[in-house]
Copies of this chain bind each other. A is one copy, B any other.
Amino acid sequence: MSKGLIVQKFGGSSVANVERIQNVAKRVASYKKNGYDVVVVVSALGDTTDELIELASQINTDPAKREMDMLLSTGEQISVALLAMAIHKLGLEAISFTGAQVGIITDTSHTRARIIKVNADKIREELRKGKIVIVAGFQGVTLSQDITTLGRGGSDLTAVALAKELLARECEIYTDVDGIYTTDPRIEPKAKKIPAITYDEMLEMASLGAQVMQARSIEVAKKFNVPIHVRSSFSNNSGTMIIKEVKRMEDVVVTGITINKNEAKITICNVPDRPGVAAKIFKELSENGVNVDMIVQNVSHTRSTDISFTVSKSDVHKTLKITKQVAKNIQSGEVLADEDIARVSVVGVGMKSHPGVAAKMFEVLAKNKINIEMISTSDISISCIIKKKFAETAVKSLHGKFGLGK
C-alpha cells in the first residue's frame, strides 16, 4: 500500500553533472523504497538552456519562438533520460516522458505558454505498474502537436500542475538553497530559515526579489491549495513549507525582509497635471513589453507634478526611449533615470492586524540616516526605494528591529 504520491522537482543546479544526477536518483529511490509513489520533474542540466539560447543567437538574433521551443525543450529531455538511467542503475523501475508524451497541453504562446490542461492518464498507468515516473519540466505541447515551453520557472509550474492533477500529498521543490530565509543570508548572517510561510507571503517575497520560486507557480499552488516544500537537493534537512495558512507559535508580524537591486527609478519631471496623462505613459510602456513596478506621483502644488516609477534595469534603455518620446508629446519636462537604487521590503501577513509596521520601518531607516525616495505598500508588505549603498545597512537594521534573527 502506497503512503501516497509525492511530486519532486529538481532544478538545473541539482542535475548539473553526473554525480548530482546520481544523488537525485538516490533521493528519489529512497522515497520509493519508503513506500511513496514518486513523480519527478526535472529541469535541463546546469546551464544547458542558456547555452542553447546562446547557440540560437549566433544563428538568428530574433529566432522564431516556435523554433526556440523546439530547441530548448531538448534540455529537459536529456535530463529525464539520464535520470531514468541513473534510477535503473539503483535497481528500480523508472520511465521518462516529455511534456508532450504525458499530455501537458498548453496554448500556442510559444516560449511562455500557459497550461490549458494536464491529461495525466499515462502517468497514472505507469505509477500503477510501480514505476517512478520522470517528466520533463518546462515544456508542453499544443493541441496541434507543436512543442511549447512555459517560460522562466516553468519546471516549477510543471511540478505544481502535476501535483494538483495527481492529488499529490506534497510538491517538493529541490533547489540549491535549503529554504526561504527571513532575508538574504549573504547580507545578514543572522537570517533564519522560515519553517512555514503562506502562499501570499511567498508571493510578495518572490516578486520582491527572493529568487527561489517564480510567482506564477505559487499562484497556481495557491489556487489549488497544493502544499509546496522548498528544500535543498544537497542535504536532508527539511526546508520551508509554502501553505495556505501558517499557525505560528507566537504572534509574528513580519516574516521576512527582501532586497532587490535590479530595478532602476525613472522620473518624469513637470508632467502636466490633467487627467489621462499617466495613462498615456504607462499604456505606451506596457504595449512595448516594459513591466512597470512601483509608481509614485505626488500631489501637485503647481499645475504640474513629477511621476516616478521603477522598471527592471534591463528595460532602462527601452523605457527611456519611450518615455522621452511621450514626455515630449505631452509637454513634460526632463526624464531622469537612476540605477543607483535598491528596494527594501518587509513582508508578513501579520501586519494586516498590526498597525505601525510602516512607521517602525521608516523610523529604523531614519535612525540610520537613510533617505526614502519612494514608498509603496500592499496588504502584507511595505517597500521603500533607497540609495543602493544603504541597502545592506537597511536590511540588517530592519532584520534586527523586527526580531527576525531570534
Binding site for B on A (CB under 8 A): 18, 21-22, 52, 55-56, 58-60, 63-64, 66-68, 70-71, 73-74, 77-78, 80-82, 84-86, 88-89, 95-96, 98, 100-101, 145-147
Contacts and interface: CB of A to CB of B under 8 A. Distances in A.
Contact of A70 (B52, B81, B147): B81
Contact of A86 (B60, B78, B100): B60
A112 B56 CA distance: 30
A56 B89 CA distance: 11
A263 to B, nearest CB: 32
B59 A18 contact: yes
A67 B81 CA distance: 5
SS of A interface (majority): helix
A300 to B, nearest CB: 50
Nearest to A96: B70
Contact of A78 (B22, B60, B71, B95): B71
A15 to B, nearest CB: 11
A77 B70 contact: yes
Contacts of A96: 67, 70
B64 A85 contact: yes
Given A60-B88, A67-B84, 12 more contacts: A56-B81, A59-B86, A60-B89, A63-B88, A64-B84, A64-B88, A67-B82, A70-B77, A70-B84, A74-B74, A74-B77, A98-B147
